[in-house]
Amino acid sequence: MSESISGVTLRCGFCLALNSVDLERASDRPVCGECSKPMLLDRPVKVSQEDFERTVLHAQVPVLVDFYADWCAPCKMVAPLLDEIAHQKIGKILVTKVDTDHAPDIAMKYEIRSIPTLIMFQEGEEIERSLGFEPERVRGLVEKVVA
Ligand SMILES: [Zn+2]
């Protein structure tokens, strides 16, 4: 078997086991190797501070990260946009969200001063960020990295 070029490490939303998932086969509905429940890739995946490096920075596909907080009203405006991108670009890009209240070190490292802040990462590096609700800018950025 050839080595995956679209591999990501994701935590199962049900049993919390870490799984290596080949996003190229995302439409085959991959399941968790531990509990056999589906890995849900057609919606934003919640990433903890602990998993940020291996899930976001080591992913072999571009990763869009939504830095948000539960109490943030503008963040709720961004949520449908992220659902749309995750659904439309399944297998090509990983859409994730980081709760900044529970990830202070990551928020500090990337100098998140206002939320929502969306950052596109590729090969562990920040490519570009969007502040607030900028749907056209975010869609354009997505097209740029998946092209
Ligand atoms: Zn599981």
Question: What Cα–Cα distance (Å) separates residue 16 from each residue in 6, 36, 59, 61?
Answer: 21, 12, 18, 22
Give the model's pLDDT for residue 4: 67
Question: Ligand 1: distance of its center to the CA of 39 in Å?
Answer: 8
**In this structure, what DSSP letter does residue 39 have?**
P
Domains identified in the chain, total number: 1
- Full domain range(s) for residue 81: 42-146
CB within 8 Å of 28: residues ≥ 6 apart:
none
Give the model's pLDDT for residue 28: 86
Walk along the chain (147 residues) in steps of 10 and give the mean pLDDT of each run: 77 94 89 95 94 97 97 94 95 96 97 97 96 95 91
Give the model's pLDDT for residue 26: 86
pTM exceeding 0.75: yes
Distance CA 66, CA 110 (A): 12
Does 128 map to a domain?
yes
Question: Ligand 1: distance of its center to the CA of 38 in Å?
Answer: 8
- The catalytic residues are 72, 75
Here the CATH number for the domain that contains residue 105 is 3.40.30.10
Does 112 map to a domain?
yes
Question: Ligand 1: distance of its center to the CA of 16 in Å?
Answer: 6
